[in-house]
Amino acid sequence: MNGKEDDPGQGKAEPLACSECIEGLQEYLDGTLGKQTSLRFFMHLRDCEACEAQHVALKSLFEMLDNLPSEPVPADFDDAILASVPYAAYRQMEPLRRERVPVYLTEHFLPQFVRSRVTRLVGLGFTVAVVGANTVLAGPSWLPALAVLGIVPEVLVRLQGLGRRVFALGRAEV
């Protein structure tokens, strides 16, 4: 096999294999390749008919795409898209969505700091850390109780979510 250094000392760019050339043609055409790499492509394309043919074909395709007239979006485009979406089931649930859930099940019933992801994650981290420390160090007997505090925000938020779901189910069955 030819090594990468079969043409050492000449300061020339390493020859490009056809597969590499075809793979990178789009980037070459986009002009996103580095100068040196771009030069390797240039030289390969100059010497390789097969790749040059691909190059010409891709280039003309890009030019054609660039020159396509921009079509205005049909006026009913949005409606057509929306009509294709199965909204029937969603609409059937409309009354359900309009039902007011009890205030203690609304998200805003809990203070923002309890609902905040950071509080919940920090709390969980705290619990894990305390439980871990307690396991290793055999801490005081009240430590597990302290650890439970950490999961309170997460539990509150989850209970609320569960409550909302139960409430919605109850309504759905009526």
The interface with Zn ion within residues 126-145 (CB under 5 A) comprises none
Which one among 25, 51, 131, 157 touches Zn ion, defined by CB under 5 A?
A: 51
Instruction: Return the number of the residue (55 or 120) whose C-beta is nearest Zn ion.
Output: 55
CA gap 124, 146 in Å, rounded: 12
Residue 25 binds Zn ion (CB under 5 A): no
Question: E strands, the chain, where?
Answer: none
CA gap 5, 170 in Å, rounded: 75
Residue 45 binds Zn ion (CB under 5 A): no
- The answer to whether the beta carbons of residues 44 and 15 sit under 8 Å apart is yes
Instruction: Return the number of the residue (5 or 49) whose C-beta is nearest Zn ion.
Output: 49
CB count within 10 Å of CB 158 equals 12
Choices 20-28, 31-39, 113-121, 165-173 (CB under 5 A): range interacting with Zn ion: 20-28
Choices 10-18, 62-70, 74-82, 131-139 (CB under 5 A): range interacting with Zn ion: 10-18
**Hey, what are 106's tokens?**
């609304």
Kindly list the residues in this chain that would bind Zn ion in the complex (CB under 5 A): 18, 21, 48, 51
